[in-house]
Each structure stands twice: as structure tokens, then as C-alpha cells.
Structure 1
């Protein structure tokens, strides 16, 4: 299913319209406190402009630039306002891609066989303004936003959902970059968890990925 959304209460749609840019969701985590941690790539807008818009947006609790690009960058947002991804999740659908350009959101979602398509559309329209269902296609197995294919899937099969969330958040946040762009404390705060909990998840997840990558070989 593919939707066009013009709900300016959604920050990524509003920002794309006001700043005249393209905004694409890279990763999201639903925190234990109900807020969302979201990573968006922004192309075509000054980073200061994006952060200024976020500071004025009632649904944005916190925002920071993680990685500066040529004309934009990767941003981290803590969100408490309306979000199309949670709307889809609450209705039983899975977001495959979420983006916006010049004030128009484009959302592609897959609907499992046991979920009623009509109820998904109705829920989406109830929660968001100016929603159009522009395409509906039958397809084979769909790939959600946070899932990669091929060898990348094999490397993460042994990880729990929480370990995947923490590891990907750490990666996108620049925790593994040199020099580091985020500390363990900053990543933990973004996820709404304690720093020791974050560090534990990262270490265990790394060990599992390395075991998969190196066939569990013990070099010691």
C-alpha cells in the first residue's frame, strides 16, 4: 500500500514543506516511555534551518545533528507527536519506507494476510489529515524499514529486537565512528535507557554479530 499524506502535524512532512527539502526515515525505536526515537536523513536544507524548525515543533522533544552532509545531514529526533509509523503499527501494518518532499509525505507499507486492509486505511485516515491511498498491490514477502536483505539479515538473525534497536541506534548515532560523534551516555539518553544497559546491549550484540561473521571461531 502506498499513501500520500499532507498532514502538517507530522514534523517530517511540515519540515519538508517549509524548508523545501527531502526527508527520509532511516530508523525508529518506540521507547519504553511512549516516545519515539527517529533518525531522518534530510537533503536540500541547511542543518541550522532543520534544527530551528524542530525547536519550534510541539511534537519534537529533542533534536540533534548526528552527521553533517553536503546539503543536509542525518538527524536524531525524540518525538511525542503524531507519527505515521506508529499509526501503521497500531493498525497491524508495517512501514517499508517513509519520506516527504515539499510538504507531501510518501508512505509505503505492507499489510500481513491476517490484517484487514480496509481497517488500516480507515485508521490512517482517522489519525492523519489529507491522506490518499494512491496504490495497492499484491506482493511477495515485503521488507520493512529496519530490515536489510541477504548477508546483513544473516548477521542479525541471532539478535533480539532490543539488541538490533540499540546496535543500529549506536551506528546511526556515530558511536562507532572515529572520532566518536555520540557517547554511550548520549545514545542511552536518546533511547531512554540507562548507560550501563546500553553498553551491555551493545557488547552482547557485537559479540553475536562477530560470532556469525567469524563462524564463532575463538582466536584465543
Structure 2
């Protein structure tokens, strides 16, 4: 699965999260620092406004060959010809997305309890969002706070690529990767950082440390 989902640092961005700065500039700086996948999440925008931002962001990302993922809006994902879409339990089902959008290249699905590992939606998805790993102010409607033990349990139960999100920061991402996550997703750790490029570089460095220590651990 790793070859189908080679990404390590995943930025979830919105205009609001950038706290008054131009979200396109924040996104480009983040990519220059090591972000290799970006999700645009605009829950409160009209479809028209969301699509406009998606097309602008896609244009910024294209020279860097960084894929664009759209959060929970199939119409925007299709009309912007994004690389993929990410959905949760209360959103459109991955099985329906596969039927409606055959050219979708990256389909992500957030899981909230272990039983979901064995349903059709999980099997249909390309990667699983483990959300949240730690409590976070940006996500208040979740069922499970997974923690490192939760990541280890999920890793032992599936070969799917795992994207960890929820209070991810430079001081904890190494441990999260060591526990079995393949990729780290962040919002405020980059969007709210004084220097998004430097913040991304630091996160990427810690991810690489985690991957390195994971490979030398005995099974």
C-alpha cells in the first residue's frame, strides 16, 4: 500500500486556519518546506466559492506535483479535477464516490472506531484518517481519541495507509510514526505558524526520524 500512497506530510488548509494570511501563499510555503499532499477544507463556503479556491490552489500546487484533495464535496472535487477527496462517517460514502467519480485517484476515509476497519467503506478507500490521535480544538465532534495505543492497534489490523491527525506537532510526530502511522496531517502546526515553510521542514524532519527508527526496530 505504501507505493500507492507515498505521502508523508499532509496539510489540511482553509482560509480561516491561515488567520488572515493568504492561504495560497501559506500552502506554497508549506510545500517548499516538505508538505507533499494538501487537502482544502472549506466547510462554510458556498460550492462556487469553494470551487474557486480549489482551482486557485490547484494552480499553485501543479508546478510542485503536489496532489489536491477536497474535503467532503464531491462536486468541487470533480469540477476542479482534484486528485481526490476525503470523507468521514457523516459524509458521502466511499462506495458511492467510486461509482460517481471513476477517475478519483486518492480516496480517504476517517475512522472513529475499530469495527470500521472491516466494513466496505474502509476496503474501498485508499487511506484511512486516524482522527484524532490527540484531543484538538479544531475537531470537537469525534467519538474516539486514539492515542499511540490506538494507532498500534489499527496498524496491527490493516495494511491500509494510515494518516494521523489531531494535535500533531513537531514534539510528537516521531512517536506517532513509530506507532505505525504512514503520514502526518496537520492544520494549525503549519497554518498558524509564523513561518509555514520552517514549520513544515521541522515536521518533515521528525517524520523521517520516526520512519528511520521504525525500520531498525525488531519485529
What TM-score, normalized by structure 2, do the two folds share? 0.31
Q: More helix by proportion, 1 or 2?
A: 2
Of Structure 1 and Structure 2, the greater strand share is in: 1
The TM-score, its normalising length taken from structure 1, stands at 0.31
**Higher radius of gyration, 1 or 2:** 1
